[in-house]
Chain A
Amino acid sequence: RKEVEQDPGPFNVPEGATVAFNCTYSNSASQSFFWYRQDCRKEPKLLMSVYSSGNEDGRFTAQLNRASQYISLLIRDSKLSDSATYLCVVHGGGTSYGKLTFGQGTILTVHP
């Protein structure tokens, strides 16, 4: 079983749609969680951290369920510029401090 699993998509949605991505992780000792965004032929960049209480940044909402080892990202009112690959990322902490494990990514295409 992969350490971090995501639905690879692709998701094709019209502008203005709401889209949700899910992710599960296998290591219950994982400490912190993130969503990174990667544009085509570019490097990954941090989109947002994910907190246990859930957090929101504009049109983006991230949720964490530690009991189910499940992370989600919700994008409301999709824009063309949201088209990218979204990577679910887990940080182990402890003796693995600093080390991130990346999911395979979910591809999103927003069309006019």
Chain B
Amino acid sequence: DTEVTQTPKHLVMGMTNKKSLKCEQHMGHRAMYWYKQKAKKPPELMFVYSYEKLSINESVPSRFSPECPNSSLLNLHLHALQPEDSALYLCASSHAGTSGDEQFFGPGTRLTVL
């Protein structure tokens, strides 16, 4: 199984809602990532978990809260988002989180904040 799955595929939420994005992989990878991609822009790294510990936080606002319950699962909890947070949110995983590791990406969750 070389797949990273993400749910939901689409999400529409208001600025006062609380929602969560989910990501799962069963490749035995020990590093997992959240990226944000705006239209016509490249993916931008938000968070990295390595061996279930947060290793990189790219100064992301606290309205985004990541969680790694186990080595196969990665969540992104959303609260009080702004319309400018509307984007494609991509999850990825890699073997160990070292340089040159191939990162496997999921299809993304398309988020719209009203």
Q: Do A and B come from one complex?
A: no
Give the interface of A toward B (CB within 8 A).
none
